Structure 1
Amino acid sequence: MEEQRNACAAGRDAGRDAGRAAGSREAPGGEWSALAHDLMTQTRRLRMYGKGTMRRWDGRGRVGVLHVLHHSDAALTAGELARACHVTSARMAQTLNQLEADGLVTRTPSEADRRRTIVRMTDAGEAELRSYFDGVTHFTAGLLRQLGEKDSRELVRILGKLADVLHDASEGDDPAAAGADSAAAGADAGAGAPEGGDAHEAR
């Protein structure tokens, strides 16, 4: 039933956007506006269908914490982790309780300031992070296999080119840069990327 409601919602969105796109084609530069509407429609569909597909992956922030610890050159406090992961101190405390119970991190009082708690990832935490990204890579490879080699390579090429365009826009004084940043965020969410970032970054 929920899938039917989602499909109906997608149909309404597509119809509404198609109408907007048709109207935009009548104005100068309307073809680009139409393409922009089509892109936003498809990213919404990716978000909608991706949410259900990606429920199998961790959604409690565990991977995000392990990922930050993996890339940190120095030991981090619970407060620093909360800021890095953009969550509240209470939420971070809950996540760290779970990670510590599973043997993935350790928490020790700081020698310099006993009020501060230092968090470190264990070898088991490193193994957990590698296993997670191996699973994500395998899952994504399956999606690309269904898409086909030619389209998959073209998708990667276009995404790389889009990233370059967004980078150039953010570097300059282009007033459209803010809009470009929003588009990038939407594309990232639309792709339904698992929490934790690029699989290669965990290596």
Structure 2
Amino acid sequence: MSPHDDAATDPAPAPAIAGPTAGDESAELLDLLHRLLRDIRRSATSSLGPASQAPGQVRMLRVLQHCDGPLRLGHVASALDVAPRSVTSKVDAAEADGLVRRIADPTDRRATLIELTDAGRALLADVSARRHEGVAGRLDRLAPDERAQLLTLLRRLADDPTP
């Protein structure tokens, strides 16, 4: 049996993950925006050091930050578009880190509400500052006229075309 005979029994190699096809500008734009934002988020949270939070954890904290008051777990799960049990584990971890606290729902004794603590707000402020630093660092790669052109083009794309 030659070494080439084994090749017939080896499983097929995994298919490569294809990026946007040539000429598909909308797919390329989406891919570039996704990669850029993901890299900025990851860089900001990983730069917090050993106490860094996973991006999903930061996202949950942001949901709490943008609400008018404490939320039930089910509302947080809906806002994140995840299963409630996923939120429970995130809340458990965030509570252990002192970033959120559980409080009794004054309208329903059986329910629990979640709210940010001052430490949670401070962490979000730090993550936000680090994200801004990361974006500024990326913009520094461009000449001033390129930055101005990029922002002009992005503003045009972001404008709502409906009157």
TM-score tier by shorter-chain length is 0.7 to 0.9
Matched, 1:140 2:141: no
Q: Rg larger in 1 or in 2?
A: 2
Is 1:103 equivalent to 2:98 in the alignment? yes
Question: Unmatched 5+ residue regions in structure 1?
Answer: 22-36, 172-203
Q: Distance in 2 between matches of 1:168 and 1:49?
A: 25
> What is the rounded CA distance, in whole Å, between the counterparts of 1:38 and 1:88 in structure 2?
34
Q: 1:75 to 1:53 in 2, by over 3 A?
A: closer
| Number of the residue aligned with 2:27 | 40
1:2-39: per-residue Cα shift (whole Å, max 9, x none)?
A: xxx78xx55xx5xx52xxx4xxxxxxxxxxxxxxx234
- Answer 1 or 2: which has greater helix percent: 1
CA contact (8 A) 2:40 2:134 kept: no
Secondary structure of the 2:152 match is: helix
How far is 1:50 from its partner?
6.5
Distance 1:151 1:128 in 2: 33
Question: Alpha-carbon deviation of 1:100?
Answer: 0.4
Offset of residue 163 of structure 1 = 1.2
Correspondent of 2:120 among 114, 119, 125: 125
Q: Which runs of structure 1 show a deviation greater than 3 angstroms over 4 or more consecutive aligned residues?
A: 45-60
Cα distance between partner residues in 2 of 1:49 and 1:111: 42
Secondary structure of the 1:79 match is helix
- 1:63-112 CA distances to partner (integer Å, 9 max, x unpaired)? 12221222211221111111111111011111101110100000022122
Does the alignment pair 1:116 with 2:111? yes
Instruction: Show the counterpart of 1:69.
Output: 64
When residues 141 and 48 of structure 1 are mapped into structure 2, their CA distance, relative to the original with a 3 A threshold, is closer
Match of 2:149 in 1: 154
Q: How many residues are paired up?
A: 140
Bigger Cα displacement from structure 2, 86-95 vs 64-73: 64-73
Contact 2:40 2:135 in 1 (8 A): no
Amino acid across the alignment from 2:25: D
Contact kept? 2:100, 2:120, Cα under 8 Å? yes
Give TM-score scaled by structure 2 length.
Answer: 0.73
TM-score by length of 1: 0.60
Cα shift at 1:129: 0.2
CA RMSD of aligned residues (A): 2.5
Q: Is the 8 A contact 1:78 1:93 kept in 2?
A: yes
2 CA distance for matches of 1:147 and 1:59?
30
Per the alignment, residue 88 of structure 1 pairs with 83
Per residue, is there more strand in 1 or in 2?
A: 2
